[in-house]
Chains A and B, each alone.
Chain A
Amino acid sequence: MAAVSTRRLQKELADIKNHGTPTGITLLKADDFETWYLTLEVLGESLYKGEVFALKFRFEPGYPISSPAVQFVVDDKFRAPLHPHVYSNGHICASILGTEWSPVLSVISVCITLQSMLASCKDKKRPPDNDRYVAHAPENPKKTQFVYHDDEV
């Protein structure tokens, strides 16, 4: 029997193939059941109009009981959105990826949550502790115990 994470991700992938992704979200790369890439755009009027971001998902064998490691891709093509909950290294401070994670959530539902987090942003700026965090941050954002900046995300 395949690992639970594989069977579950197979199902999520089949759902995406059969029903497509919600607008503004596209599957970039899902060659295995360890790392996926998706792109994210905020539709309609928002501070991020015209910007395209990429998200990297990493899954442990314990997925979906354990949350995926999710971060914005920062490379020569993509940048992390300028947002009070997004660090310049792409790490995201969102309770849904930590204490508020539920195993019924999926890759797509995480994308939608992050999309709406960007859509509702009123002030494009970095978290106040950005420099300090980025200087000492672990490579995997799941290793960080975030103190959530507010209850909204």
Chain B
Amino acid sequence: MSSDYEYSDNELYDEDEDEMMADEDDESASDMELDGFNDVPVKSKLKSYEVEHISLSQPQVEKLMKTDVDHISGIFGVDAEIASLLLRHFNWNKEKLIEKYMDNAAVVTTAAGITVPEKESSGSSSHRSSSSPSQSQTKILERITPPPAPNEPFVCPICCDDAPTATFNLICEHKFCTNCWNAYIESKIRTEAEHWITCMADGCSVVCPDSFIRTALKDDTSTWNRYQELLVRQFVSCNRNLKYCPYPSCTYTVSCPSGASKSALTTIIPIVTCGASASHKFCFGCNIDADHRPCICAVAKMWLQKCQDDSETANWIKSNTKECGKCQSTIEKNGGCNHMTCKKCKYEFCWVCMGPWSEHGTAWYSCNRYDEKASVDARDAQSQSRASLERYLHYYNRWANHEQSAKLSVEQHAKTERKMEEMQITSQLTWIEVQFMKKAVDEVFKCRMTLKWTYAMAYYLEKGNEKELFEDNQRDLERAVEELSELIESPIDPETISVLRQKVTDKAVYVQKRNEIVLEDTANGFQDGRWKWNVPVEGFD
């Protein structure tokens, strides 16, 4: 298996403990393919900015778990339930579990809460690492929890019910009523999202096996299902080749071995999509739950941190109102397009740089490029810090604006859509014919996200020819997006709609092409090591 070799190669750069997982994961991955799990059609040819990955449903991951459980169960000669607890206790590190178990099975099963420590009498609380369980506490506890005398009726020490219909206990023999077990297990799963549930007695580390949890939950299948999901989540979090989809209530997992090694993150941006929805895009390499291409993880993280640190300074930019550069009247932005016209004096300007729009429309468009000249002139510390703030604001302004414009264009589209629906009734247009707008809005949204991240990247790119070429591509995309944005906000009427449709469709195709160019060129640049940074970036020399 060739992938085995490649993986261990990457492994050398990684100092993480769980290196034993590597071989195992590859094994699982190959099992997966043999079983015909690969339900996502393999794209014949990936673009340079795309990364290979497989989406797995919860049952598919459960099958991977079962393979490990059966393996351990076979080697140790224990029930599948015990094997599962042992694996979970060892964070699914099979090699480590086998090694420790072969060395001393009794110690391992006690530490995992599967067997009761021998010397200890039940009821003591010496497991707790707390300094607190002093003698007096034990006494108090005894008062609330009297040792059950042989002939006295059982009183549940938790709810104080003196005639519970039934009781349960684990091997530690700490007995509680079934209602309390039910409430406890439900609360652990529901409110604490806990997959490792121990006995209710103070300091007792005996764990509840799955069959016990199933019984205690009675017919609460939704909590049981949630528990199954928590088990899958734990398995996924222990396996570096897997990542759980971060979208709310999604239960898909993505496998992306090429995005799993840290060293790869200087050359690729492992943006993946889960099988539940094409909109479930996230980064396999970092915690950003969105597509941050063309920016690599380390730079994207640095930028977000900077924005967070400087949020107060830059807050004013996010506001929806600005003053007209000519007549000073307040102007509110309510669409995604950045071509603004003052209602009062008819001054046309660019919302981003506040400069006259006449300079933007045609060949000359440099709203995206920061003029470094000003900062060179700065001599004293004060003007230097002002220059560096101005430089940051230049990039932040554009970053925030693309985000805001993307949102506004979606809102704007909702209005347009209503109008289109009305038009469908009053004119000959079919539903299919009015869909071009939706497609264009989606394209604008996607490209504004790309543009947004190009500003994060440009902020950290070192000055020079490469950066200029990058900014040329950025400018071309930006101009195309602004033009499309303006088109989709133009007034709609049945007379001109077919002309508009042609224009919008053509422009959307062009925009898509420009977006491809930005993404491909940046991705190739990472492969070739073409990008140089003006600050130290993790993983780069």
Contact = CB atoms under 8 A, between A and B. Distances in A.
A153 B134 CA distance: 12
A74 B134 CA distance: 27
Interface residues of B, number: 31
B145 interface: yes
B137 A109 contact: yes
A90 interface: no
B141 interface: yes
A11 B144 CA distance: 8
Interface stretch (A50-58, A60-68, A128-136): A60-68
B458 interface: no
Interface in B320-370: none
Contacts of B141: 104-106, 109
Nearest to B132: A113
Nearest to B188: A65
Given A102-B203, A103-B180, A65 B136 contact: no
Contacts of A15: 143-144
A152 B129 contact: yes
B187 to A, nearest CB: 5
Residue of A12, A22, A112 with most chain B CB atoms under a 10 A cut-off: A112
Contacts of B143: 15, 19
Interface stretch (B23-31, B88-96, B152-160, B165-173): B152-160
Interface centre among A7, A11, A65, A109 (most CB of B within 10 A): A65
Interface residues of A, number: 32
Contacts of B202: 102, 104-105, 109
A153 B131 CA distance: 7
Contacts of B161: 7
A120 interface: yes
B130 A153 contact: yes
Contacts of A7: 159-161
B154 to A, nearest CB: 14
Interface in B143-201: 143-145, 157-161, 179-180, 183-184, 187, 191-192, 200-201
A153 B130 CA distance: 5
A99 B198 CA distance: 11
Contacts of A22: 136, 140
Contacts of B201: 102, 104
Contacts of A64: 158
B200 A116 contact: no
A103 to B, nearest CB: 5
Interface in A115-153: 116-117, 120, 151-153
A30 interface: no
Nearest to B129: A151
Contacts of B318: none
A65 B183 contact: yes
Interface in B199-236: 200-204
B197 to A, nearest CB: 12
A87 B274 CA distance: 43
B158 A8 contact: yes
A96 B130 contact: yes
Given A105-B202, A108-B140, A62 B187 contact: yes
Residue among B130, B184, B191 with the highest chain A CB neighbour number at 10 A: B130
A142 B129 CA distance: 22
Contacts of A116: 131-132, 134
B183 A113 contact: no
A95 interface: yes
B433 to A, nearest CB: 52
B128 interface: yes
Nearest to A10: B160
Nearest to B125: A102
Nearest to A1: B161
A142 to B, nearest CB: 11
A90 to B, nearest CB: 19
A62 B144 contact: no
A75 interface: no
A15 B155 CA distance: 15
B52 to A, nearest CB: 36
Nearest to B144: A106
A106 B159 CA distance: 12
Nearest to B134: A116
Contacts of A109: 137, 140-141, 202
Contacts of B180: 4, 65, 103
B130 A104 contact: no
Given A64-B158, A117-B132, A112 B187 contact: no
Closest 7 A/B residue pairs (Cβ)? A113-B132, A102-B202, A11-B160, A151-B129, A4-B159, A103-B158, A112-B137
Given A8-B158, A10-B160, A102-B204, 10 more contacts: A8-B160, A64-B158, A100-B128, A102-B203, A104-B145, A104-B158, A113-B133, A116-B132, A152-B129, A153-B130
Interface of B: 128-134, 136-137, 140-141, 143-145, 157-161, 179-180, 183-184, 187, 191-192, 200-204
12 contacts: A8-B158, A22-B136, A65-B183, A66-B187, A102-B200, A102-B204, A104-B202, A106-B140, A112-B136, A113-B133, A117-B132, A152-B130
